[in-house]
Structure 1
Amino acid sequence: MSSSSPSDPYAQGATDPHDYDPDERRASAVDDAFEEEDLETAEERIERENAPSAVDYYAVLNVERTATEEDIKNSYRRLCLTFHPDKHHRPEDKATAESRFEKIQKAHDVLSDPIKRHIYDTYGPDAAEMSWEVGARGQSREEIRAEFERQSRQRQEMAAETLVKPKGEISLSLDASPIFDTDVWRSRHRRRLPLGRFEPVNTQSRGLADVLQWPEVTQAFVKHSWETQITQQSTLIVNGDVMARNGIGVGNVTGTLRHIISPLMWGEVSGTIGQSPMMQGKLVKNFSSDSFATITATSQTISGPPTLIGVLGRRITTKTTGYLTYRTGEWQLGPWGADQDFRERSACSLGVMRQVERGQWNVDVQVGVAHSHISMSYFKVLPRSIRGRFSLTLSTLLGAQASIAGDKKITKYSRIGLGVDCASMGGVTFRLKLARLGQKFVLPIILSPQFDMRLAFWAAVLPVCVSVALDKFYFNPRRKHRLAQKLAQVRGANAEILAQRKQEAEDAVRIMKDSVLRKVEAEESRNGLIIVEALYGKLPPSDLAPIRALSMQGIKGIFENLGSVNEEAASANVVRLEYIDVTMAVQSLVNNSQLHVSGGHSKVNIIGFYDPCLGEQKRLRITYKFQGKLHQVEVDDQAAVAAPLRGDFPFLVYPKELLSHSTFSFSSPGS
């Protein structure tokens, strides 16, 4: 066992007890899973994290994951002194020792073999116990790993062949402006008179029947695509789209071949047939990890040269990237293109993109022959898998445009989003979006053909307020109730396994009692380290008052009567405690007045430990006597422990709630 020096108690990753705040909320499995993105993922997390895990070989031997072969050998030898079956003569103790020694032996066999240890560290205990006929005997770690991953990849590919992963989008535009805009409703309900005239505008107020009418469908758009990998470097993408507007429909089919030319360059060629035929080529070149360039050529007619778009980008700082874009628009090369109507003009833009914490800023300034604009957008990932977006554009052609949107993950594979678009020359539009497994449904609803600030404000605020209220007062309580039920279900399903591990831990403590008492006497003779109390689980506030009055004879009496006390507590009709006494198990880890509990894994697999509160955050609190003084340390479940702390001078470490005590360090009555 690798032990840290008393002068360097944190060398093995021990947590500084001064960092512990007893007022800090102790999260349970329900609290942790509640922060997941959706209910399905949260339930899966509870089931995954709270299922009884396989035996951790490092915890069994109480060594770090970085332990050397000598550390493993020394720890194995020390455990053999206590748990080797030949050391016990009573039949019940011998049977318990054989069961525990079998696990110790298996842990030693795996961790002392470099190949098996590598397999165990990489793929877990199940892989370490496999026959590993994937490769010939004598293969290197890299060869074994490559073969294992190849077989895993084959199984994944066979499963993937049965799945279809298309991408689709359906967009149905509705015009609801007569419902929200009285002027639009009145203008559309004017009767036509002879000679192309209309009757005067009706100034009477609308009735309920006039408001409750189905919005008019103005446009429908459907898009579908799929892709397949032809070779390792080439991918074929096929997509089709159909749009119907005012009774007129158009459709196109586009095929794209994407090819990786080199690690720093790739390109693609696309062709579209249908109502709007087109050919397009694109080339992307990364000059380094900080700079890139792209060139795109698009041709919709052979009567003129293709339009070109060039982009040069460079990383300015670690989180900021700048890019320069130039668009040629439609142009002519000598007589080629002289007859075409130049509808698209050239433009040049300069943009900056900056990554911020869980978000991104984009600013773009464009100067063009036809029009210019300044645009800004911001994207932010909020807690609970909520994503927000905001954009603002000032254009010489379309005026001011603003958009705000947000979406939230509602199930493992589904998201729902809301958004509002408004423009000084385009009215107000409310958007509803639902996405699931690559399929997307978008419902734009025109609220007003003219800009209305009040309508835009309420269109943005009301849906958010309703969503927040539903989430807080309905979905959150329902979610917590479901997760609590899931945790109870997991506990019930694993009750037999947990009871078995509890019995194994108690049996291990019983057979180590004699050797632990000998350790206590040896430590007492040298005024060394004696564990007065060690508690593990969901701990109550610390109280050292009863411990202060203990004499050495009283401490030894606790060890001698520990088994009977536990049996009485188990048989008594009392509320089940969510922590256990592991004093004897921790004392067994003391060697030469030094205690080291390895970290990086849960302590439930340490010999003499078990899980008393499945699904709750567990901590280990150790009160020990060293050189006649009492000390206390408390750490998280995954943290390492090294004692004595801070060299040989005595001091006492308490949670912050006990800092008002006047006696932190004192001589025990028996010393």
Structure 2
Amino acid sequence: MSTQTSPDRSSPRGLSQESSEWSWQGIGDSSQSQSNQERAEGDTLSNDEEYDRLLDETALEERDYYAMLGLPRQPAPTPPQIRSAFHSLSLRLHPDKQPPHLQEIAKEQYVRLRTAYETLINPQKRVVYDVLGEEGVKAEWGPGGSMAKGGEAESTQVGVKAMTPAEFRRWFLRLMKRRERQALEELVSSKSHIRVNLDAVGFFHPDVIQKLRAVSGLMGDHSLAKAPPPLQATELELGHEFDVPLPSLGKLINTRLGLVSNGNNKDGTHVEPDWEEETGDDTQLTVSAGIEGNIIGFAAKPKHHHVEDEDDGEEGYSLTMPGVLARQFSLGFDIEHAFPEKPISSVKEPNPASSFLHGTMVGLRTELLPERRIQASLTRPITLIEGTQPFFCRIQTTFQKSLLTGPPSVEVTVTRAVGLGKTLFCSWSSGSSVWPPFVQQLFSRFMPNGEEGGATAVLSTVVPRMVVGISGALSPAVAEATQESTADGRVQKHPSSNRTWNVQLMGSVFGNQLSATYGQDFFASASTAPVRSAFTRSGEYSGEDSSSQHIEGSRGIRVEVEGRIGPSASFAWQIRGLRRIGNFTRIGMGVGLQGVDGVFVAFSWNRLGHSIDVPVLVCPLMLLSVKAVVLALSVPVGAYSLLEFGLIRPRSRRQRKTKLAKRRNELQKLVDGRREEAQQASRLMERDVMVKQAQEAERNGLVILKAEYGSKEAMAPRRPDPRRRQSRDEIADVTIAVAALVDEGQLSMPRRLQRSDIVGFYDPAPLQKKRLRVRYLFAGREHVVEVDDDESLTCPMRSHRTST
């Protein structure tokens, strides 16, 4: 090894020697930016898979404040550690420590560093940053935020500055949960349904209508003397319901039963409330109302009224009153409450009732119209063998008449998961019945006049029945849970096509009925991920998707097939296609055969619980033929195929290509900007790092010769793939940045440290896995080490020593 000479302290490049072991490459080589602009279309960002990863790379938009100070997130750094890290970096990046030509650059770097320090050293800002990130801190302390003037923080009984970090975190997460609930209620707090049945037989079969008019005229029936219109509405149904959360009532019930803490322990000490106690609103009231009925023949009818005059006596006149729209009105109220799933250890001694109610849901529904009815239900999971799937049992009783006329009807439903994505269910209903004769005689003295026939009326409306069935569903969430690893370590996923099916058999006194349904997505390149809450059951913030940058594949069409065989071999079927447009809206069209009516074509629209259904009768049952069925199926399928493959998909491909190109340019500009910032930071730290590295060299300590950070594939020693253009842009020179982390002859980079945000680092290959390669001298011998992004680095180590 060559003799070491004193470093040239006057050179801005720091350590420089004729030996290649001591040469540091210059910072800010212009050849990198030039080659960066010449990146070809066939590089690693060109395929669709990496495009999708590019769109999901939202972490590049924000900086990791912990990494900027050289600190890991876990274990959480203490305030003294944060101050020490900031003090060490500020000595190198402060504008007053730099020559005049670097002060403007140093000012920009120092402002970013101080912003990170002020955020992490402030307990409240640090909590918000850990939950929402950089943009969340700006929003909460900006106009309209919770910490700004007039925000939610001013309405607290205990000021947020007086709270401990744990108390502030609970308060802020509770606030975030409340905001999420309010946004959800604005979207889906109410539901409505509109169904209009149309009759188009006169449009498709006018000759049949003429024959019916002729036959009815010969028979003396003049009801068809006037030809019906080609399209007329026959039936209308309107329904609406909305939910009213009752969190205070739910907390009162749980507290009275000893299921949750009332704020004090058994020994009188204060108890911190549980997350579900603070944020859960498992009690809500549902109000529903609707009308339905036939609308043919309900024309306006004149009614005769009598008015008594003082002089002329009684007079009569006719007044045309509006016709009745529907024959049945409905109005009901439903309240549900879910008890906590697990007990709280700090509450008082629970009673047997409270132990039974854990994980139980109770409900009470009252119907005022069209007739008075009360339903009470209880649902509870029961685990027979520890570690197995529980049975979910639901018991519902219906009180439709007085208990003097007969017992209430009882319905018991048991469901259990069997296998992956399959559920077996069984339901039994007792129906309406009457008391035995001796009980009727006992209650007869208490019955008012006219009440004896009530039981018979009830018996005619509710009949005993038994339902047994099995259902299955393979959704993206289930497919994600069934991932398998191949021999080479790659993850193999099952197709997630949102496939559902259901088969059930029902038996009653009127006969048996077998029904089956099947639904699956077709022509979809990617399944839609289910929308989940941003909070876990334990109250932790799990983050939220960035839908603004997400580009999904073709949504395709969902096909649902339903068949039913009833008593006397009656058969009904329906084939329906659904397609999602926008984020929350679905439109659909279906064809089917319904009982004695005939073939109908149905159109549907659904958005966030609001739906409109319009079934149109096109062919009566007496004219049913194979030709009519084929036409009813082929016309909608042909129209949709022409629309989907001729208009929607070509336009979607153009939009996808445009947005991907725009996002790629944005990412490239972001990488260029981060590269420039890293080079500026390295120039600012170079002089101070040079001095410390010279001191390490004098005592044969740790001297960083070369450090590179970049794509694993680009840094691999094997021969490059000829199908992929390798570029030096995928490797960043971070020699000065790594040398700046050397403290007292040691280098330590924890595994949880976000390396791309360390001062002097940047991410040269955002869509790929990265690797850090460090070549250093220790005790006069050369060492080399390579670690991945998810591995920690500690230097010096004997295992890093080279053979030469």
State the partner residue of 1:67. 75
**Match among 307, 311, 322 for residue 412 of structure 2:** 311
Q: Distance in 2 between matches of 1:535 and 1:339?
A: 82
Report deviation, 1:347.
1.6
Question: 2:460 is paired with a residue of what secondary structure?
Answer: coil
Deviates more, 1:483-492 or 1:365-374: 483-492
State the partner residue of 2:63. 55
Equivalent AA in structure 2 for residue 187 of structure 1 = V
Calculate percent identity across the aligned residue pairs: 19
Question: 2:677 is paired with a residue of what secondary structure?
Answer: helix
Structure 2: 5+ residue runs without aligned partners? 1-42, 142-146, 148-152, 222-228, 250-282, 299-324, 341-359, 383-389, 441-451, 479-497, 529-556, 721-726
Report deviation, 1:371.
0.9
Deviates more, 1:240-249 or 1:576-585: 576-585
State the partner residue of 2:396. 295
State the partner residue of 1:140. 164
State the partner residue of 2:433. 331
1:199-598 correspondence runs (5 A): 214-229=230-245, 232=249, 233-248=283-298, 249-250=325-326, 251-260=328-337, 262-263=339-340, 264-273=360-369, 276-288=370-382, 290-297=391-398, 299=400, 305=406, 308-317=409-418, 319-333=421-435, 334=437, 336=452, 337=454, 339-340=456-457, 342=460, 344-356=462-474, 357=478, 358-380=498-520, 383-385=526-528, 387-397=558-568, 399-422=570-593, 427-450=598-621, 455-456=628-629, 459-460=632-633, 463-464=636-637, 466-468=639-641, 470-482=643-655, 503-514=676-687, 531=706, 533-535=708-710, 581-584=732-735, 587-588=738-739, 591=742, 596=749
State whether structure 2 residue 606 is matched by structure 1 residue 606. Answer: no
State whether structure 2 residue 213 is matched by structure 1 residue 189. Answer: no
Conserved in 1, the CA contact under 8 Å of 2:201 and 2:230? Answer: no
Conserved in 1, the CA contact under 8 Å of 2:74 and 2:752? Answer: no
Question: 1:443 is paired with a residue of what secondary structure?
Answer: strand
State the partner residue of 1:204. none
Q: 1:504 to 1:455 in 2, by over 3 A?
A: same
Q: 1:326 to 1:158 in 2, by over 3 A?
A: closer
Deviates more, 1:425-434 or 1:294-303: 294-303
Q: Distance in 1 between matches of 2:768 and 2:230?
A: 57
Equivalent AA in structure 2 for residue 640 of structure 1 = D
Question: 2:511 is paired with a residue of what secondary structure?
Answer: coil
Report deviation, 1:237.
0.4
Which of these two proteins has the greater Rg computed from alpha carbons?
A: 2
Q: Distance in 2 between matches of 1:619 and 1:528?
A: 27
Deviates more, 1:441-450 or 1:476-485: 476-485
Summarize deviations over 1:159-201 as a string: whole Å, max 9, x none. Answer: 8999995432222222345666xxx554333251564299xxx
Report deviation, 1:124.
3.2
Question: 1:479 is paired with a residue of what secondary structure?
Answer: helix
Q: Distance in 2 between matches of 1:154 and 1:545?
A: 54
Q: Distance in 2 between matches of 1:590 and 1:453?
A: 80
Q: 1:145 to 1:86 in 2, by over 3 A?
A: closer
Q: Distance in 2 between matches of 1:113 and 1:140?
A: 12
Conserved in 1, the CA contact under 8 Å of 2:203 and 2:230? Answer: no
Conserved in 2, the CA contact under 8 Å of 1:523 and 1:529? Answer: no
Report deviation, 1:120.
2.7
Deviates more, 1:408-417 or 1:381-390: 381-390
How does the TM-score come out when normalised to structure 1? Answer: 0.66
Equivalent AA in structure 2 for residue 60 of structure 1 = M
Equivalent AA in structure 2 for residue 217 of structure 1 = A
Summarize deviations over 1:415-454 as a string: whole Å, max 9, x none. Answer: 1122333357654332211123433111212343346566
Conserved in 2, the CA contact under 8 Å of 1:260 and 1:266? Answer: yes
Conserved in 2, the CA contact under 8 Å of 1:313 and 1:321? Answer: no
Q: Distance in 2 between matches of 1:389 and 1:458?
A: 19
Conserved in 2, the CA contact under 8 Å of 1:585 and 1:607? Answer: no
Deviates more, 1:163-172 or 1:583-592: 583-592
Question: 1:69 is paired with a residue of what secondary structure?
Answer: coil
Question: 1:55 is paired with a residue of what secondary structure?
Answer: coil
Structural RMSD (CA): 5.2
Q: 1:497 to 1:526 in 2, by over 3 A?
A: closer
Structure 1: 5+ residue runs without aligned partners? 1-21, 34-45, 199-212, 548-575, 652-665
Equivalent AA in structure 2 for residue 260 of structure 1 = H
Conserved in 1, the CA contact under 8 Å of 2:749 and 2:794? Answer: no
Q: Distance in 2 between matches of 1:462 and 1:523?
A: 83
Report deviation, 1:286.
1.3
Question: 2:510 is paired with a residue of what secondary structure?
Answer: coil
Question: 2:760 is paired with a residue of what secondary structure?
Answer: coil
Summarize deviations over 1:609-639 as a string: whole Å, max 9, x none. Answer: 55789xx746546566589798888x7xxx5
Q: Distance in 2 between matches of 1:255 and 1:320?
A: 33
Conserved in 1, the CA contact under 8 Å of 2:500 and 2:518? Answer: yes
How does the TM-score come out when normalised to structure 2? Answer: 0.56
Larger RCO of the pair (alpha carbons < 8 Å, separation 6+)? 1
Report deviation, 1:234.
4.7
Summarize deviations over 1:485-510 as a string: whole Å, max 9, x none. Answer: 56777899999998876653332122
Conserved in 2, the CA contact under 8 Å of 1:51 and 1:494? Answer: no
Q: Distance in 1 between matches of 2:567 and 2:45?
A: 55
Report deviation, 1:364.
1.9
State whether structure 2 residue 133 is matched by structure 1 residue 124. Answer: yes
Conserved in 1, the CA contact under 8 Å of 2:239 and 2:288? Answer: no
Q: Distance in 2 between matches of 1:174 and 1:80?
A: 76
Q: 1:610 to 1:430 in 2, by over 3 A?
A: farther
Report deviation, 1:252.
0.6
Q: Distance in 2 between matches of 1:455 and 1:515?
A: 87
Conserved in 2, the CA contact under 8 Å of 1:326 and 1:348? Answer: yes
**Match among 80, 100, 110 for residue 89 of structure 2:** 80
Question: 2:647 is paired with a residue of what secondary structure?
Answer: helix
Report deviation, 1:254.
0.5
Q: Distance in 2 between matches of 1:374 and 1:166?
A: 33
